Structure formats: C-alpha cells, structure tokens
Amino acid sequence: MKKHLPNAITCANLFSGCIGIVLAFKGELQAAAYFVILSGIFDFFDGMVARLLNVKSAIGKDLDSLADMVSFGFLPGVLMFQLLKASDYSSPYLPYLGFVITVFSALRLAKFNNDTRQLEDFIGLNTPMNTLFISSLSFIADDYPQIVSSSLLLLAITAITSFLLISEIRIFSLKFSNLSWEKNKIKFIFLILSAILIAVLKFVAVPFILVIYICFSFLHFRGSKIPAE
C-alpha cells in the first residue's frame, strides 16, 4: 500500500490543477490561485513521502512531471490568457500568447527530468514558483488595476518568466537534508521573510518573494560554479 501513497498525492496535485483550470477558464482567477497553492502543497509532499518511505520509482517521476505540466504548465498559461484577454489591447489573437508560458514550462520540465545537475537544486526557475507568481497577478489587479491591465507589461512578464524557466540561473530547492542553521541560513532567512511578507501583503507578496528567491539563490551559490551538463 505504501508504494502507492506518493503517486496518490501526485494525482491529488493533478486533480487540483484540473479544477484550477476550469475556474480560470470561467474567469474566476483568484479562486484558481487557491488551487495552485493546493497543487503546490501536494507537489511538495509527494516527493517527501516517496523519500521517507523509500518508494521512489521511474513511474512516480514521470507521473509527477505529467501532473506538474497540468498544474504548473497549462494552468499558468490559462491564467495569462485570461489576463491578456481582459487587458487594454483589443486584438482577439493576443491572449493566445499567454500559452507561451505553457510551452516553456514543458521545456523546463523536460529539461529537469534529464538534467543530472538538478538532483538537489534547480537550474532555472521552477514551475510551481512561476505559477504562483502568475496567479498572484489577479490579486494585484484589485489594488493596482492599471498595472495588470497593461498588455505590454503582461507580455513582458510572459517573456521574462519563460526565459527564467529555461535559464541557467541556479535556484536553491527548499528541500532540507538537515536543519542546521549554519548550512541552511539563507534558506531559513528566505522562509522567514516570505512568511512576514505573506502575513502583511498576502498574495500581493508573491512578486517580492520571487525577486528575493532569485537574489538569495545568488547569495547561496555565490562562488559556486554550475556543474557541466
């Protein structure tokens, strides 16, 4: 029974992503964002449970990528499609550029599965963090509608995040091999700052957290070279 538990959690990630997609197509972007969070929780725990139970498998790895493609590949593309659809540019074709995020998410996940340099940490922005950032835009629109309604800004976000997904920027994983403060100081400070920002700003905090994540990753790996592929 225990060997199926991680895959069941992965399937819960996939199921949550499907619900998020339906909500996003209905225009309920903020409701969809909560299912992004739920998918992220399931995505975090499936790998942890597999490691704890020592039941990692090739099928589990492939299933995880397929689930991530829905929850953190297709779903952010739909969210950006809807944001562009509601933006200040009236072309009926412009919103489809939102699915560029989906394409680059697929490239990112394929690269991750075959890149032996990413066993512990990431090279390029991970898809769950990118999706969380895209989903935060609908909340930012409540307070700053003039920003999120700009088609140029949304297209710039699409281009930048797509680049980050397949970039050679080294990003630390939030998996902990131990709880040593000295070895994980940067990660702990990042988590504390993120928690404070979320408590104060809620979803609006996500863009700031993304910037901090990239900056802290640079500090974490400062002086370290990216391994040869």
Query: Biggest alpha carbon distance in the chain?
Result: 53
Residue 225 lies in a domain: no
Between 150 and 223, where is the model more confident?
Answer: 150
CA angle at residue 20 from 14 to 25, to 5 degrees? Answer: 130
Q: Which of 46, 45, 39 is nearest to 62 (CA)?
A: 46
Residue 17 lies in a domain: yes
**pLDDT over threshold 60, residue 228:** no
pLDDT in tens, 68-125: 999 999 999 999 999 999 998 878 899 999 999 999 999 999 988 887 777 678 899 9
Predicted confidence at residue 50, as pLDDT, reads 81
Tokens of 144: 């700053």
3-state secondary structure of 54: coil
Q: Token match 């991750």: residue?
A: 112
CATH of the domain at 114: 1.20.120.1760
Residue 229 lies in a domain: no
What CA dihedral angle connects 174, 63, 74 and 144, to 10 degrees? -20
Residue 79 lies in a domain: yes
Residue 226 lies in a domain: no
Residue 46 lies in a domain: yes
Question: What is the span of the domain harbouring residue 9?
Answer: 2-220
Q: Token match 């725990």: residue?
A: 45
Domain count across the chain: 1
Residue 228 lies in a domain: no
